[in-house]
Structure 1
Amino acid sequence: MKRASRGAHLVSKKHTDAVAGASLVAAVQPIPEIQPPTVIHPAKLTIADIFALSDEDDPSPFNDNGHRIMDNILIDDEDRFYDSDRHEVNFSAGIAAGPITANRSELVQTIEALDHFEHTIFGESENFDAQSDSTIPNIVTAMQVMECGTPEVPTFTALRKKQAELTHEVNIETLPHTTSLGNEFYMNHPAALLALDWANPLVREFIQVYPEVTDKVSEMRHAAKWIDELCELSDGRFIIPVKWVIINKQECAQAYEVAHDSVGGIFHVQTQEVITIPTTHLQWNMLDLIHSGHSIKFSATSPAWLAKIKNPIRETAQGRPVFVMRIIPWSDDVSGNVSKQWNAHMNIYIANANLPHRKVSQEYFVRFCSTSPHASSSEQFDVLSEDFASGVWHHAYDCLLEEDILFGIRPHVLPADNPQQAESTSNAGVNSNLWCRYDKSGGTSEERETDAGYQALFKPGVPRTPEETVGVIKSQILAACLGVQDAIDVIQTATGVKDKTAQFWMEKLIIKARELQKERIRDSATQDPRLKDKKLKGDDRKSLKVCIKEEIQRELFAWVLTQPPDRYKQLTELRARDHYNILLGISGLDPHKDSPCEILHTILLGEDKYLWHDTTKAWDKAKGDLFATRLQASSIDGLSIAPLRAPYLIKYKNSLIGKHYKALQQLTIFHIDESLCSKYLFDLWKAQGELGALLWYPEIKDMAAYLENLQICVENVLDIWGLIDPARIQVKYKLHVLTHIIEDVRRFGPAVLFSTEIFECWNAIFRLCSVLSNHLAPSHDIAVTLADMERFKHQVSGGWWTDKAGNHVQAGKNIRGFLSGNKELQRRLGWVDTALFKSVSRDVCKDGSWVFFKSPASNSIQTGCIFKIVIPATSTSEHSSAIVIIKTFIMSDVADPRLNMPVLLCADKLLLVSPAILFIFNSQHDCRGAGCKVVEEAQPVMQGRNVTKLKQAAVIHAEDTRYFLNMHALHNANLIRDTIPPHLSKPKHYFTDRQAKHIQFAEKVRVSGPEKRAQTVAKAKATRERKKGKKNTTAEESSGGEAPL
């Protein structure tokens, strides 16, 4: 392997002539001087050990003279190494643990692991530039020097070739596609990616193939959102299973009972009631019954789908198990640059909805499908949908069952930000009159100012349906065939329906319609012969023109049905994917219902952002510094957030991101008062904090009670916004869409399940792949790169694949153990081994942590602060023998009236507790009640890890006997509310008569609304006049001071 920094020289004629002439010194020209030979010492650490070290512990690549080790090494064409004196150098890596086997294939896989560190891919072999990319050649050479001790290290080209072979063998193909609009892009199909989950032993054990019926809701399979054959139970009854479910960890069938007339041999299906039967009670399936001599005949009143006695899937399955997997497709526009310069790409990722949320929320389980700077999300969803079309089944190897299976794919939910969800539902967006993707709420500004129109914004309206949306799209296409853009605009304005795919065809149709109308009506040389009749005048002539336009309309509509030509199958109607949004035509998917309110963009970057802006816009520097000092004094133990940088939040208060708003939502209420905000803003911070804590529930025990509390919190937030700015809900769609989150939670489970944070985090991987590509073919190159990474993850995880001979194989034991034994690689690939967490709440407790614990005396649940954790010196197990000394606090039975939070009062008592700690929580000191002051120059300033001589202001706590249990904390919010008395956490309505208040708000906007619109018109007019005057002045100056004629 030649070092890439000298690559151009090493392939030059001068170098080859020098080698042929045995002049190795000449071969390294034009190096001006020869450094003394370097002694190569045996490596002390293996490569795996080196990468496990921190950055500070990494060994320097330089020797004592400041030169790299490899600078004095010469390499001939047979990959032999020589020092500057032409002595061959043999490298040693010390004593290897166990025998070394020179397996070239496994060695290739081990080396390529470094290709994926820091999510970094270094290009394809055919694009490799030896003069610019020295990274991989240096790594491979370093591994040969420091690790392998063998000449069997492959060349860089061989490495890339092997990678491509393995990716092909694992059956991940990056395929080209052309959309109905003519754009081209590449895709790694979901079927191939999901097949890896079935064959990966680290993933397969977590796949839950059936929905689960349970009181607690913590996964999508628990929520409200399943073969249809006759079978016999062990007690002789007959049933037809319609859905497989899990109840109390046991597989069950939800089924219709079937009555059998033994005389006539007729089966009567009783569809009035669905019964639940454990699968252990099933005895004979349909094939068994036929084999035993049963003649399967159903009564005339039986459902139509029983016309086929055998499930049609049996013929496809051919005895193989068949499953259905649900996926979470995500799409958004993402910049391909790390810098602020926007480099637009439209991406699609997927996640496996059959996996637990604790797995799906890891980067390891996010799968890249496609990207394109040109194709829209609708176009890419069109291709994606090929994998989950009805009747399409995919092959996989199930490593748990140890046999081949078939699986189908169904989209379950469509999380995204609001603009993307508007596109996915063919909605015109927030600037349209009927702006909601869920319902038909909205209207013109005047309609929203009426009592009824205004109140309608505070609740869900009449729901939209895919069928109705498709009908509106068809009417727009028919209008386009008349060549009138205004007619299309009227329909889109009146309905709020605007489809990106249909828009492409409508633009073409308008142009064609106008050309044909000109040709047949207005152009005297080519016009319709009927119009040349001089006797045709007046209304008759107008009617004929209308008739000709309708003929053109029918011709163009017939033409568009045949487009695109390569997809036309003699169908006489508009088609999803070809003419409008494919998501409107997928069986089992309703984009209007299945595009839920997403908490990152709607709550953190919506309500929290609006509230933060309204609170801080009037602050001067003194108020900002005061808040920053108070905020920095917050305790963040039990919040699961990064250390606060309060001065940064104030300095860049208008440029914050989601993680900043998440911290502010939980802590701001403790540090603002009448000097920093109004009463209504304070109340809104309180209502917003209560709502946020409910929305970040990881598990819901009582869905009905939870939704009732959530409804109250949502209504309080919207009502207080009405007090602050009655017109806000008219112009901010994120306020109205919040009313739909109650139904979203009922349909899909806790809101964190359809949050997009993990997909947004995964964008960092995409960006690095984009930055490190040559940008010539981003859709292809990035897809190939990430397909290779998927294959690498699969093989180092111990996954199975089918080799060329058709055998199911997996990598050797050293490769299979590479991921499980290398914590650094796990971190790089986004894998978290949840088996490491031992406690029920999975919390890490330390000195100073606030906890709920069971009293050793009364066995009651109490609160306290950990004073000390003591481990006996003779203990061999840190956890089992630890003694926790807790400073106990008593929870007041009455919530603080100002914060509406439980008060914790010091009991002046220490308890010795065994590890019976339930969970931790966050508590904040009552600085207002204790009169804590901000003292200038109270503590030193930290810069980096150093304490400087500079001083800064800090809050000095007056006493430590009174604290608040932080009810706005997101971490363990559900456990806190399950533990404390219900009256301390039950939300209450802000208004007793909401309707009356909304009417008052509507009266205000009927005054302020016209005034704002008049001001807008006047401002626009003034702007036009100013631009016109500037244009005239410029014209005068260019003509020498004289006005143009």
Structure 2
Amino acid sequence: MASHKTSARHRTKLAQLNAFYQMTAAGLGGSTHQNKPDQQSPSGGPPSDIDIEDNYIPAEQEDKSLSEEDDDQGIDLGQFGYRPDESDSESDGRLDIEDWSWSGEQTLGEDFEPNEQDIPTTGSTSRPQRTRRVPTSSPWYPFPSLDHLIGSLILGQLHSIMPPDLYNHLQVILTLRHVNLPHWDTLRRMRSRMRSMLKIEPSENQLVLLNKTFTLNVQSIVGNELANPIVAQHLEFYPHDPCGRDVFALYQSQKWREELGPNSRVQMVPSEGKHFYIYEPVGLKDPRAPIVVPICFYKYQNTLFSKCIKPKGGLRANAPAGSRQFDLHLSSMIPWFHPDLIEIPVDQFQKTYSELTTYYGDSYVELCGNRFIACGSGLQRVDIPIPNPWRVCAGGKIIRHVPVTLYADDTSGNKSKRWNKHAGPLEIGEPIIDEINKVSQEGYVAYDALLEEEVLMVVVPLCFLADSPMAAEVTNTPNPGSSNNPCQTSLVYHGFQNPAIGLKLKPAPIGAWISSQTDTVKEQERKLQLYGLRDRISLELAEHKRDNLEDRLWIIQIEDQTPHRKKNPWLKLLSFDGTKDTPMEVLHVILLGPVKYLWCDFMGRITPTQLPQLEARWRAFNTDGLNIPQIQPRYMIAHWKSFVGKEFWVVLQAAPFVMFPFMDTDMKLIWSALCALGSYVFQTCIKDMDTYIRELKNHIQHFEFHLVKMSGRWANKPKIHMIIHLEESILRFGPASLFATEKFESFNGIVRENSIHSNRLSPGRDIAIAFCDAKIMRLLMSGARLYDHETKRYFKSSPQVTNLFRNNPLIQKSMGYQQERMTSFSKYPCQHGHRGPQPSTADIPEVLRQHYPNREIMMISALNLNEKNTIRPGSFVLVSILQAAS
């Protein structure tokens, strides 16, 4: 403490506070607003000759809502966060026990009104005993006051972050108007205690290549989404079967519905107060119906169905005489289209396994030995236990099945920053994969905002979204830009008589590792090419082993203690197939693939004399109805080499109208095929899947035919080949827009922003903390019911906090939520806008007046056809007229 008081930083801060105190005292001395008596200041305002001493700790004022009384509160220096014993580091994240305390039914701190004897006078050498506890009856619970909530909002979330210096500057300015916001350090400590209370904190991980990462808990991330009432109402917990019609959502994906294993698919459904599980015998309401066994659950037209099978019974061998014991037989692998499956609505279920009895009143399950007998591969017997082990694990709770999509990308622009250390997706994924596997096998207790009760949450990976190099790294395949067979999806048929047999993702990972330890570098490279493997973890460990004795001992220790860490961790992710679950991503493969290649080829052919005419065509192009902003012609000409995805999206739509006059016949055929292909690729709703896939395949073949016919050099581009697999991805997951990565690219800006505002010592930790704080703020403002790990009970924010968010569109927008898009049920077409002068009614056609003589006809300025398309004067509309059959 003594050394800190003599430090230069302490004396500089003390001088600044004294100067500000003297200035404001002089400026407010003649004010008619008087300080409150409990602030221990004279009635005429603070005298101008008072200095702040080293041992003085100003008492913080009582926190109240912003009201007219705030003008009478005066200036509270305690709100500036002045702490004589505070560390010099402003981002060490340590807690001050004397500032906050936790007990009993109170949780996050609130400033109780201090007693007069606890408020020190000027020159006092004793530290006041302050307790901050927020009772559940507090109007701004769990925030100490409205000022703390406003300060948290001012600090911003993710995209818009206010640095500490700017916040403190704003705080000083607002103090002149008697608005006393908490100091930035106070808010930082408050956020830290919120993270501790909710256990939403980043965890530090030491990776196999000795990099440190900070991750958020998967269970907490997904579990709190169930507790969020705004999010939970839009979640689907059962796969839907659209029967190939109107496919537009990931909950209609084929993988979730048909391709998950027996232990990974949806395990149970509630019906009439009972819980029915798969692989358990069920009695139906129809007394004549036989006992069936549900194999999978799904929704059809918003009604829960189950695909069931009739078990085959037989007398048990070596059973005691007269015991009436029997065996029930099932197939171990029952695919979705198995001919013996029967579709039954769940509301027809009546009896669970424990309620079933035989004709003689014996327990049905006990007589069959509490098991099914399934024939596995090679006729090997497999016993399936009754009841389902998930029933025991759930303990009477409803199971919520939550599939998630995984995403990885390298943040553009950050590699050049010297304070950043970057780990690849294999290293970063290691702790996350372990958590996902645990939740998918054991479940996690969470609170469901819709059911208002605890549920058992199960998480399964649906797909991995990334660009081609990132997907290649995850699937252990070579980088597409530097390999002869640049595809992790295609099967290798060479050397097989049966073309239906091919090499999969993991041909020989163990052999590749042994080769790296025993063979020469050249021989290892030859075997890697033979196997088609490129495991980055194994390769880097092999390189380290050649460096020095210390690295070799470290790798030997990994082999002995944790041998599974020496290879790609994504290989052990359950319910994940790297060859199928890395869908072809349209942003990088189409817009940054053929569209980019052909655009650069086109602009390379344009002569300088043609540029003015091309610019004029860009200027004359009408963007109405295309859902794109107004085109900047000069930019399109000057920066055509630096386009990103959104510019290529404009080029793809405008090509027939802007670029065709400058093309020959072959180029027109190529661009016509590409534009037709683009109109299919970017559809957000597929009306008929069979027809769509057939036409999509024709468009892909048509485009690639004209492309290769123009020049054989295009055949060397990996992305030209990857387009072939687009139909497989759409069949498995739905429209290409569902697994597009544009919606995740915004995280690049978040990572850069938080890295810039970090203390440069550990940007990864600061980025993780920023995500934690934003998530907590989002949950509190949404009214989520959260679990307090200090008091061991659930709580939610006060109505004042949630109403501040619910009734204020500006705050919603600042936090990335647009309520009108989520709750708007207006029918299209509808009028666009309701303000401003309306057009004259003089131009209404007389034919229209005669057709509707009893109607009042008015002209409007614009008409919304749907959420994205608007018709204005001057727009052209193509109308299809259906003629009645004669």
TM-score by length of 1: 0.62
CA spacing shift, 1:309–1:14, aligned 2, 3 Å: closer
**Other structure's SS at 1:808 match:** strand
The answer to whether 1:282 aligns with 2:349 is: yes
The answer to whether 1:245 aligns with 2:232 is: no
Question: In 1, distance between residues paired with 2:173 and 2:521?
Answer: 66
Question: In 1, distance between residues paired with 2:312 and 2:493?
Answer: 52
Deviation at 1:744, TM superposition (A): 0.7
CA spacing shift, 1:736–1:667, aligned 2, 3 Å: same
Match of 1:408 in 2: 458
Match 2:328 to one of 246, 254, 267? 267
Query: Counterparts in 2 of 1:930-969, with a 5 A limit?
Result: none
CA RMSD of aligned residues (A): 4.4
Match of 2:280 in 1: 229
The more displaced of 578-587 and 375-384 is 578-587
Question: In 1, distance between residues paired with 2:840 and 2:330?
Answer: 66
Match of 1:120 in 2: 160
Question: In 2, distance between residues paired with 1:625 and 1:596?
Answer: 41
Match of 2:603 in 1: 616
Paired residue type of 1:402: E
Question: In 1, distance between residues paired with 2:49 and 2:624?
Answer: 53
Deviation at 1:246, TM superposition (A): 0.7
Question: In 2, distance between residues paired with 1:17 and 1:920?
Answer: 58
Question: In 1, distance between residues paired with 2:312 and 2:846?
Answer: 65
**Other structure's SS at 2:310 match:** strand
Deviation at 1:158, TM superposition (A): 2.9
Paired residue type of 1:655: S
**Other structure's SS at 2:723 match:** helix
Match of 2:666 in 1: 680
CA contact (8 A) 2:307 2:344 kept: yes
CA contact (8 A) 1:106 1:812 kept: no
Deviation at 1:775, TM superposition (A): 1.5
Question: In 1, distance between residues paired with 2:640 and 2:49?
Answer: 54
Query: Counterparts in 2 of 1:584-623, with a 5 A limit?
Result: 584-623=571-610
Match of 2:710 in 1: 724
CA spacing shift, 1:408–1:144, aligned 2, 3 Å: farther
Question: In 1, distance between residues paired with 2:456 and 2:846?
Answer: 56
Match of 1:193 in 2: 221
Match of 2:483 in 1: 432
The answer to whether 1:24 aligns with 2:28 is: no
The answer to whether 1:326 aligns with 2:403 is: yes
Paired residue type of 1:697: Q
Deviation at 1:12, TM superposition (A): 5.0
Match of 1:581 in 2: 568
Match of 1:293 in 2: 363
CA contact (8 A) 2:491 2:504 kept: no
Deviation at 1:394, TM superposition (A): 1.6
Match of 2:189 in 1: 161
CA contact (8 A) 2:830 2:865 kept: no
Question: In 1, distance between residues paired with 2:746 and 2:161?
Answer: 18
Question: In 2, distance between residues paired with 1:11 and 1:89?
Answer: 30
Match of 1:90 in 2: 72
CA spacing shift, 1:672–1:248, aligned 2, 3 Å: same
Question: In 1, distance between residues paired with 2:327 and 2:781?
Answer: 56
Deviation at 1:493, TM superposition (A): 2.9
Question: In 1, distance between residues paired with 2:651 and 2:160?
Answer: 34
CA spacing shift, 1:344–1:322, aligned 2, 3 Å: farther
Paired residue type of 1:254: K
Match of 2:273 in 1: none
CA contact (8 A) 2:832 2:863 kept: no
Paired residue type of 1:592: T
Deviation at 1:105, TM superposition (A): 1.8
- Deviation digits for residues 905-948 of structure 1, max 9, x if unmatched? xxxxxx989999855998999xxxxxxxxxxxxxxxxxxxxxxx
Match 1:478 to one of 508, 514, 522? 514
Question: In 2, distance between residues paired with 1:307 and 1:41?
Answer: 79
Question: In 1, distance between residues paired with 2:175 and 2:138?
Answer: 14
The answer to whether 1:488 aligns with 2:536 is: no
Match of 1:756 in 2: 741
Question: In 1, distance between residues paired with 2:493 and 2:608?
Answer: 40
CA spacing shift, 1:580–1:117, aligned 2, 3 Å: closer
Match of 2:416 in 1: 342
- Deviation digits for residues 73-92 of structure 1, max 9, x if unmatched? 999744689xxxxxx97369
Question: In 1, distance between residues paired with 2:302 and 2:49?
Answer: 63
Unaligned residue ranges in structure 1 (runs of 5+): 1-6, 29-33, 43-71, 82-87, 94-98, 124-132, 346-371, 444-459, 517-555, 569-573, 848-867, 873-882, 889-910, 926-959, 966-975, 982-1045
- Deviation digits for residues 632-678 of structure 1, max 9, x if unmatched? 2122121111111121011011011111110110012112334x122
Unaligned residue ranges in structure 2 (runs of 5+): 1-7, 35-47, 53-57, 63-69, 76-136, 256-264, 266-277, 316-323, 849-856
Equivalent pairs counted in the alignment come to 720
Query: Counterparts in 2 of 1:859-870, with a 5 A limit?
Result: none
Deviation at 1:269, TM superposition (A): 4.0
**Other structure's SS at 1:229 match:** coil
Match of 1:692 in 2: 678
Question: In 2, distance between residues paired with 1:644 and 1:886?
Answer: 38
**Other structure's SS at 1:753 match:** helix
CA contact (8 A) 1:118 1:828 kept: no
Deviation at 1:405, TM superposition (A): 1.5
- Deviation digits for residues 161-187 of structure 1, max 9, x if unmatched? 221111222221210111122221110
CA spacing shift, 1:648–1:779, aligned 2, 3 Å: same
Deviation at 1:292, TM superposition (A): 7.6
Paired residue type of 2:671: W
- Deviation digits for residues 469-501 of structure 1, max 9, x if unmatched? xx1x32222222223111121123344321101
CA contact (8 A) 1:326 1:411 kept: yes
CA contact (8 A) 1:745 1:751 kept: yes
Question: In 2, distance between residues paired with 1:73 and 1:586?
Answer: 69
Deviation at 1:630, TM superposition (A): 1.0
**Other structure's SS at 2:629 match:** coil
Match 2:424 to one of 376, 381, 390? 376
Question: In 1, distance between residues paired with 2:617 and 2:311?
Answer: 69
Deviation at 1:605, TM superposition (A): 1.1
Deviation at 1:122, TM superposition (A): 4.9
Query: Counterparts in 2 of 1:565-580, with a 5 A limit?
Result: 567-568=561-562, 575=564, 578-580=565-567
CA contact (8 A) 1:256 1:275 kept: yes
CA spacing shift, 1:12–1:280, aligned 2, 3 Å: closer
CA spacing shift, 1:669–1:275, aligned 2, 3 Å: same
Deviation at 1:824, TM superposition (A): 2.0
Q: Percent identity?
A: 21
Match of 2:44 in 1: none
Match of 2:797 in 1: 811
CA contact (8 A) 2:829 2:864 kept: no
CA contact (8 A) 1:205 1:400 kept: yes
Match of 1:137 in 2: 168
**Other structure's SS at 1:105 match:** coil
Match of 2:558 in 1: 563
CA spacing shift, 1:782–1:296, aligned 2, 3 Å: farther
CA contact (8 A) 2:477 2:488 kept: yes
Question: In 1, distance between residues paired with 2:604 and 2:831?
Answer: 38
Question: In 1, distance between residues paired with 2:688 and 2:833?
Answer: 32
- Deviation digits for residues 223-273 of structure 1, max 9, x if unmatched? 221232222222243222221111110112222223567965543447652
Paired residue type of 1:209: F
Match of 1:457 in 2: none
The more displaced of 314-323 and 651-660 is 314-323
Question: In 2, distance between residues paired with 1:145 and 1:811?
Answer: 31
CA spacing shift, 1:231–1:248, aligned 2, 3 Å: same
Question: In 1, distance between residues paired with 2:846 and 2:238?
Answer: 44
Paired residue type of 2:298: V
Match 1:421 to one of 471, 477, 492? 471
Deviation at 1:191, TM superposition (A): 1.5
Match of 1:1042 in 2: none
Question: In 2, distance between residues paired with 1:147 and 1:289?
Answer: 73
Deviation at 1:835, TM superposition (A): 3.7
